[in-house]
Amino acid sequence: MKRFLGLIVFLALLAGALYLLWPQIRNAQRYSALLSAPTPAEDSLPSPLPGQNLTDTWGAARSQGRRHEGIDIFAKRNTPIHATTRGIVLNVGPNGLGGRTVMVLGPGGQRHYYAHLEKYPELERGEWIEAGTVVGYVGNSGNAKNTPPHLHYGIYAGGGAINPYGLLEKNPAAP
């Protein structure tokens, strides 16, 4: 009988530990799946601003001798911006050039960068999101304060910035 009670206590403790650790276990599984997933193919990502025309602004000259590492998609202020992939939110917060930004870790370990936002939705670092989740609203924060409202969308991999234009569907439909 004593042995049976010890087994019950052990199983109860094990179940409690698994219950408490499950969110971390689930996040580790998702992180692993993202890193091993294939990177997006040409014309496979939905537009972060459905219904807006896309223009390839990659490589355009910028201040201080920089080159544009992304594309700008112009839209009305506060237009919802949708995640192009599923992933884990790496950062929600301001930086010098991008102003209000969101960074999402997506398939293949690529980082999807949304910048110049007007405001953020309720997102937290480490949160899992699906493609289509609203990650921000169009604005002109950061070094875009003197430009019309737009989204700067960039993709980064281990080797640096990738032109997102070729990966985005070119005939976006409004939601």
Domain boundaries, the chain: 1-36, 63-167
**Confidence bin at 133 (pLDDT 50/70/90):** very high
Is residue 53 over pLDDT 80?
yes
Q: How far apart are CA 170 and CA 174, in angstroms?
A: 12
Most confident among 16-25, 35-44, 88-97 (mean pLDDT): 88-97
Return all residues near 131 (Cβ < 8 A) that are at least 6 apart. 46, 82, 83, 84, 85, 86
Give the pLDDT score at 15: 77
Helix (H) or strand (E) holding 114: strand 111-119
- CATH T-level fold of 63-167: Glucose Permease (Domain IIA) (2.70.70)
Q: How far apart are CA 146 and CA 16, in angstroms?
A: 54
What is the chain's length? 175
